[in-house]
Amino acid sequence: MVPLFLSPWRHGALTTCLAATLGATAGSRHFTIYRLEPARHTPSAGPELVVVHTFGPEQIDNNLGFYVANELLPLLSAARGRLPDPAPTDEPFAHDQQTLFEQCVGAIVRSMDGNEGRAWHRFYVNSLAALEAAMQRDQPASDFIGPFGVIYRRLMELARGISLLDAGTCFGFLPLLLARRGGPPHTIVGCDLDGALVGFANAYARLAGLANVSFTVADLLGDDLARLGRFDTVTCVHVLEHLEPAQTLAALRALWQLTAQRLIVTVPLEEQPDPRFGHRQTFTTGRLEILGRELGGRFQTFELHGCWLVVDR
C-alpha cells in the first residue's frame, strides 16, 4: 500500500507527536519518513511508513511531481532497503514506479483537505496560475512547471483554426489554459484514457465557468476514437513515449484522421525511457521525421524542451 501522507499544515498535532516519539527513517528538504511497527494483533502485516511533507496550500501544484520523482522515490527506496523483507503479498512497494509516483502525488494533494474535490480544485488553481506565469518567461526553471510553460506557449502559437483536440490530455492543463485565454480556438476538447483525470478537469472547468472546453474518456488506440469528430488542430503532448514502439504509428494515424489542418506532437528527449513516468520508448527528431513521412502530410521537426513534429494537410 502507499504510505500514509500527513501535512503539518493540517495534521499539526500528529506530525509533532511523530517527531517527538519516533526517529525519522529518512528525510530530505520536503519529506520526512517514519516507520510504524505493526500492532500486536497483526505482526505479520509488517511495518508501515508515514510520510510527512512540508508543502503549504500555495505549493500544491504540478511541481509536486518534480519533488516526488527526485526526492521522495529515492527516499522510499532507501527506507524499503532498511525494512525486513515481507511476504510478496504484503510488500508495501509492490508497484511499478509509475503507479507509486502517481499515487504519492495524489496522496499529497488529498492530505491538504478533507474534501477531495476542494483539494484537487486547489491543485488546478495553483498549477494554472504557475503555468501562466511560466509562459511569460524565456528562461524556465528546471522543474515540472517551467518547461511546460514554454511548450504550451509554443503550442498556442502553432495552433490553427477554431477547434482543437488535446489527445492524452492528462490533467487537461493545455485545454484549460486555452479556454482561460479566450479563443480562438472556440471549441476545445481534451481526451484521456484515465477517467479520474477527465473528471478532475471537467470539475475545474465547471467551477471556473469555462463553457468552451470539455473533457472525455477516449483511447488513442481504440476503435471508437472517430466519434470525437474532426478538429482544425490536434495536439499530442508527451503521450507517445507511454506507448509501446509498435503502437506508435497506429496512434499517430488515428490522430491524423481527426486532424483537419494541423497535427502537433511533442515528446521528451531521453537517452532511456524513464520508468518513473511510465515511459516505454525514446524519440529523436530523426525518428519523428520517419513518422511524419508515413502520415503523408507536409511536416517539420524541431527541438524545444523535447522533440516536435508538426504535420499539415
Q: Which domains does the chain have, with CATH numbers?
A: 4-112 (no CATH), 121-312 (3.40.50.150)
Residue 216: strand pairing partners: 191
For the beta sheet containing 4-6, the strands, ordered from the edge strand earlier in sequence to the opposite edge, are: 4-6, 48-53, 31-36, 26-27
Mean pLDDT computed over 144-162: 96
How far is residue 191 from each of residues 136, 144, 217, 226, 283, measured CA to CA in Å? 27, 21, 5, 12, 23
> Residue 78 — very low, low, confident or very high, per pLDDT cuts 50/70/90?
confident
CB atoms within 10 A of CB 43: 9
Helix (H) or strand (E) holding 152: helix 146-158
Residue 141, pLDDT score? 85
- Name residue 265's amino acid: V
Residue 88 in this model has a pLDDT that exceeds 60: no
Strand partners, 31: 53
The model's pTM is: 0.91
Q: Give the model confidence (pLDDT) of 167-208 as tens digits.
A: 999 999 999 999 999 879 999 999 999 999 999 999 999 999
Q: Give the pLDDT score at 95.
A: 46
Residue 42 has a pLDDT of 63
Measured at the CA of 287, the angle between CA 194 and CA 219, to 5 degrees, comes to 20
Over the stretch 197-218, which tens digit does the pLDDT of each residue have?
Answer: 999 999 999 999 999 999 999 9
Exposure string of 105-128, with b = 16+ CB inside 10 Å and e = fewer, is: bbbbbbbbbeeeeebbbbbbbbbb
d(CA 101, CA 65): 8
86-89: long-range pairs with CB below 8 Å, 24+? 86/46, 87/44
pLDDT above 80 (res 143): yes
Over residues 10-21, mean pLDDT: 94
- Average pLDDT over every residue of 85-114: 75
Nearest-angstrom CA–CA distance, 258 and 225:
9
Residue 157, pLDDT > 50, answer yes
Distance, CA of 44 to CA of 49 (rounded, Å):
15
Cis peptide before 184, with omega less than 30 degrees from 0? yes
Beta strands in the chain (DSSP E): 4-6, 26-27, 31-36, 48-53, 163-167, 187-192, 213-217, 231-237, 259-267, 298-303, 307-312
Mean pLDDT of the 31-52 span: 81
Rounded to an integer, what distance in angstroms lies between the CA atom of residue 247 and that of residue 249? 6
In this prediction, residue 81 carries a pLDDT of: 65
